[in-house]
Chain A
Amino acid sequence: MPSAPHAVRRPAATRSRGLRRLLQPFVAAEVFDFWARSIHPTLAWDRILARVVEHRRESADAVTLVLKPNGNFAGFLPGQHVNVSLEIDGVRVTRAYSLTDVPRADGLLSLTVKRMTGGRVSGELCERTRVGTVLELGPAFGDMTLPRQLQAPLLLAAAGSGITPLMSLLRSLAAQGMPVATTLLYWTARRDERCFAAELAALSARFPQLQVHYLLTREAASGADESEGRAHAEQLAHTVPDLAQRRVYACGPAGFVETLRALTADRAAHFQAEAFTLPELTADAGGAVRVHLARSGRTLELPRGRPLLSSLEENGLQPVYGCRMGICNTCACGKLDGSSQNLRTGSRSDEPEQALKLCISGPCSDMTLDL
């Protein structure tokens, strides 16, 4: 939790929640939203819509979007993420992005999006989103936030777009006058993929207690603040000799986070990490996956590629169902994350789904169901 200056923002609209609750029985949200949209593009009953107000290049392969959300957005803490939804070819797709700024008085939010090769959503956000585009957001989530009382010095370790939540933490620290010694280790493949380079330089010039080290994995180091190679023990011992006192925040691809965990988790004062992982690609291999049921809080080991409905039933659950052949939509249930396969057509879905037909869908990876 951050200290006082960055308490969760309470926009004016949330104060009128009482009124909204009073009117709720008389209003059909979809009818309200339909007409509201013609008054203002982000006016909505309870959905969080945000308009792009600025679109700027942040590095060779990343852009920063500045968004103005409607009053339904209830604020966030530095280090948190939001789900961003947009429609591509008629299909709504959702990805989580970190908010890179601190909560601002004008309520604007910033996202920094790295263009992934072949990434549909990042491509759409980087290439085809304009000022004026409206995106839908979810509420802020994530617990990689700063503690209420800052005492221990910090080590922030970022790889690639893992910089985004850590940038939010860093900006929050800067706004508080950098109360503890902080070191940022920031890995990218090449120099031109670095985001926020000018701002990081300005911050480290302004705060002597902030050290910024850049690491390159596919280019030779040249600057005094640069070195080469992936994370390893000597390098850490050299750049962060006081690791034992540090509170570590690591963010990046799963492999990077695991390396950092192995190198620091037992030695540092505290270790906290978040990894973003691409969907696993081995679809038809046998074996089991872990299916987490969000509402009942249970986690089950279910066979890969077998209908979820029958697997759940074998585990003693009784989801509602009808035809058991993919016609009636009775068993359809929300999939919050993970990959599934339609066993009748063989097509795969790596996206969250609002209506996954359990009777004809098999899991391809660990997943979370809204059951």
Chain B
Amino acid sequence: MTAVRSRMLSAAELDGFGAELDALRERIVADLGAEDARYIRNVVKAVRYTEVIGRALLFIGIFPPAFILGSLLLGISKILENMELGHNVIHGQYDWMRDPQLQGKTYEWDIAGTADSWRRTHNFKHHTYTNVRGMDDDIGYGLLRVFPEQRWKPYRLLQPLYALLLALYFQWGVAAQELEVGLVFKKRKTWRELWQEFRPVGRKMTRQLVKDYGIFPLLAGPFFLPVLLGNLVANGIRNLWTFTIIFCGHFTANAELFPKSSVFNESRGHWYLRQLRGSSNLKGGRWLYIMSGHLSHQIEHHMFPDLPARRYALIAPEVQEICARYGQHYNTGSLPRQFGQVLGRIFRHAFPSRPPPRQALVGA
């Protein structure tokens, strides 16, 4: 386990660790320019072209090859838009360009959840309190027990099934996350409050449903059905892929969970260390990086959430070197290996399990 893979740092070491990462960050920020701008505009271009070609093919989706290729392209378009464009732009990675159409505060993406809700649950809660129990709602998405520290209850026994459903309908899970429907049943929230919170989400959901399953199928006239099914398949492909990538980011075997006390008066170095120890990377080629929105570099993303994601792959060797010097485990592996570990957690912790003794990140 990680306890033996990473050593405890002294307060001075922790400061040094933070300072080195801060310096790395500043070097990249100073270097941002035309090349990064060109890259994200090419991503926009790829999103637009794959969408148009995919949708055009679905219009003649009565021919099976066109249906398959069309669904696939539309799925790829949505994956690219959600991950490499939307997720990264909403983080403010391209705010420095001052392009009004690439601003983190205003960008809205092609997915059921609203960008506003995402900015709160993801950009703020998840990124500030990564893997802190009781503060990061992304731990198991309020549905799954992936760490032994989460309380076991008998209904957890069926969680492999919940995981499959969450994977298939991941965009709806993400959209509903902030609503915390469970609180209503625990009487900590009224139905009226839930309804108030649901309204903007409901509007966005309706817009997405009408677009994908209303307008585009209707435009196809007699070929209504293949277009509708193609959109369903494309959304499904995107859901399964994003679920897979995102679960590999924080729930692999060696990812750590932290108690609330770890974030009180947290230093910059400690914050960096927590990001490292709570995240895991994916090894792979350039296409895996792009199609995962560079969440293949979850560690770098968590350390520098507002740096353009294409930079993560470039700075990864340096981050790895810094971690090695400070005796910190850099959690990375192939997609099958990491996802296998995630599945392992989902199955293992469906049953009662006991947390191992934890070591603090910092020595006295």
A-to-B contact residues, CB < 8 Å? 26, 29-31, 33-35, 47, 87, 89-94, 322-323, 325-330, 332, 344-345, 347, 351-355
Asked if A355 and B48 sit within 8 Å, CB to CB, the answer is no
Q: B97 touches which one: A35, A47, A91 (CB < 8 A)?
A: A91
Of the candidates A47, A87, A332, A344, the one whose C-beta lies within 8 Å of that of B92 is A332
A268 and B37 alpha carbons, distance in the complex (Å):
52
Taking a contact as CB atoms under 8 Å apart, the answer to whether A90 and B104 are in contact is no
Chain A residue contacts of B103, Cβ below 8 A: 354-355
Task: For A321, give the chain B residue with the smallest CB separation.
Answer: B124
Closest 6 CB pairs of A and B: A90-B37, A322-B124, A329-B92, A92-B98, A328-B124, A355-B95
- Residues 3-47 of B, flagged 1 when their CB comes within 8 A of A and 0 if not, give 000000000000000000010001001101111111000001100
Q: Nearest Cβ in chain B — how far from A365, in angstroms?
A: 19
Contact A92 to B97, CB < 8 A, known contacts A87-B37, A332-B105, A355-B103:
yes
Given contacts A91-B97, A330-B119, 7 further A-B contacts (CB under 8 A): A89-B33, A90-B38, A92-B98, A330-B120, A332-B95, A355-B95, A355-B105
Centre residue among B33, B92, B103 by max chain A CB count within 10 A: B92
B85-121 interface mask toward A, CB cutoff 8 Å, 1 = contact, 0 = none?
A: 0000011100111111101110000000000000110
Assess whether B95 is in contact with A328, with CB atoms less than 8 Å apart: no
Bound Cα distance from A345 to B38, whole angstroms = 25
Distance in Å: Cβ of B82 to nearest Cβ of chain A: 15
Q: B44 and A34: CB pair below 8 A? A: yes
Asked if B128 lies at the interface with its beta carbon under 8 angstroms from chain A, I say yes
Instruction: List residues of B (299-332) whose CB comes within 8 Å of A's CBs.
Output: 305-306
Q: Nearest Cβ distance between residue A324 and chain B, in whole angstroms?
A: 9
Contacts of A328 in B (CB 8 A): 119, 123-124, 127-128, 305
What is the distance, in angstroms, from A26's C-beta to the closest C-beta of chain B? 8
CB distance from B302 to the nearest CB of A (A): 10
Chain B residue contacts of A47, Cβ below 8 A: 100
The answer to whether B128 touches A327 (Cβ under 8 A) is yes
B residues contacting the other copy or chain, number (CB 8 A): 38
A30 touches B101 (CB 8 A): yes
Nearest residue, chain A, Cβ from B93: A329
Residue of A nearest to B26 (CB): A345
A50 CB → nearest B CB, Å:
16
For B96, list chain A residues within 8 Å (CB): 91
Q: Given the complex of chains A and B, what is the CA–CA distance between A186 and B185 in angstroms?
A: 77
**Contacts A33-B101, A323-B128, A353-B98 hold; do A91 and B48 have CB atoms under 8 A apart?**
no
A323 touches B124 (CB 8 A): yes
Cβ of A355 to closest chain B Cβ, rounded Å: 4
Contacts of A326 in B (CB 8 A): 306
Given known A-B contacts A332-B95, A345-B26, A354-B105, A327 and B34 have beta carbons under 8 A apart: no
The residue on A at minimum CB distance from B102 is: A30
20 contacting pairs across A/B (C-beta < 8 A): A34-B44, A34-B45, A34-B48, A90-B36, A94-B98, A323-B128, A326-B306, A327-B128, A328-B305, A329-B91, A329-B92, A329-B105, A329-B306, A330-B119, A332-B92, A332-B105, A354-B95, A354-B98, A354-B105, A355-B104
* Complex CA distance for A87 and B306, rounded to whole angstroms: 21
B308 to A, closest residue via Cβ: A90
Q: What's the least CB distance linking B170 to chain A, in Å?
A: 22
Contact of A329 with B95 at beta-carbon distance under 8 Å, contacts A323-B127, A355-B103 already known: yes
1/0 per residue, CB under 8 A from A, across B29-69: the answer is: 11011111110000011001000000000000000000000
Distance (whole angstroms) from the CB of A275 to the closest CB of chain B: 25
Which of A33, A34, A322, A329 has most B Cβ within 10 Å?
A: A329
B98 pairs with A91, CB closer than 8 A: yes
Contact A35 B37 (CB under 8 A): no
Closest A residue to B128 by beta carbon equals A323
A345 to chain B: which residues have CB within 8 Å? 26, 29
Measured CA separation A29–B215 after assembly (Å): 18
- Nearest residue in B to A326 (C-beta to C-beta)? B306
Chain B residues with Cβ below 8 Å from A91 are 33, 37, 96-98
A103 CB to closest chain B CB, in angstroms? 26
Is there an interface contact between B123 and A330, defined as CB atoms closer than 8 Å?
yes
CB contact between A330 and one of B44, B99, B124 (< 8 Å): that residue: B124
Query: Taking CB as reference atom, which chain A residue is nearest B101?
Result: A30
Kindly provide the distance from the CB of B155 to the nearest chain A CB, expressed in whole angstroms. 32
Q: Is A351 touching B98 in the complex (CB atoms < 8 A)?
A: yes
Given known pairs A31-B48, A323-B127, A354-B95, the reply for A329 and B37 (CB within 8 Å) is: no
- Distance between Cα atoms of A345 and B104 in the complex (Å): 20
| Alpha-carbon distance A344/B306, docked complex (angstroms) | 14
The residues of A that contact B33 with a CB separation of less than 8 Å are 89-91
**Interface contact B35-A35, CB-CB below 8 Å:** no
- Residue from A35, A94, A353 within 8 A of B48 (CB atoms): A35
What residue of chain B has the Cβ atom nearest to residue A324's Cβ? B128
- The CA of A47 and the CA of B99, in the complex, are separated in Å by 12
Of all chain A residues, which has the CB nearest B106? A354
Q: Which residues of B contact A93 (CB under 8 A)?
A: 98
In contact, B34 and A90 (Cβ under 8 angstroms): yes
- Closest chain A residue, CB of each to CB of B96: A91
Contacts of B90 in A (CB 8 A): 329
Kindly provide the distance from the CB of A37 to the nearest chain B CB, expressed in whole angstroms. Answer: 11
Give the shortest distance, in Å, between B95 (CB) and chain A (any CB): 4
Closest chain-A Cβ to B267's Cβ sits at a distance in Å of 11
A31 to B109, CA, bound (A): 12
Q: B306 touching A327 by the CB < 8 A rule? A: yes
Residue of B nearest to A85 (CB): B98
Tell me, rounded to whole Å, the shortest Cβ–Cβ distance linking B305 to chain A: 6
* Cβ distance A31 to chain B, nearest Cβ, rounded Å: 7
Chain B's nearest CB lies how many Å from the CB of A147? 36
> Do A329 and B98 touch (CB < 8 A)?
no
Q: Which residue of B lies closest to A330 (CB)?
A: B124
Give Cα A352 to B91, complex, Å: 20
Q: Which residues does chain A contribute within 8 Å of B22, judged by CB atoms?
A: 344
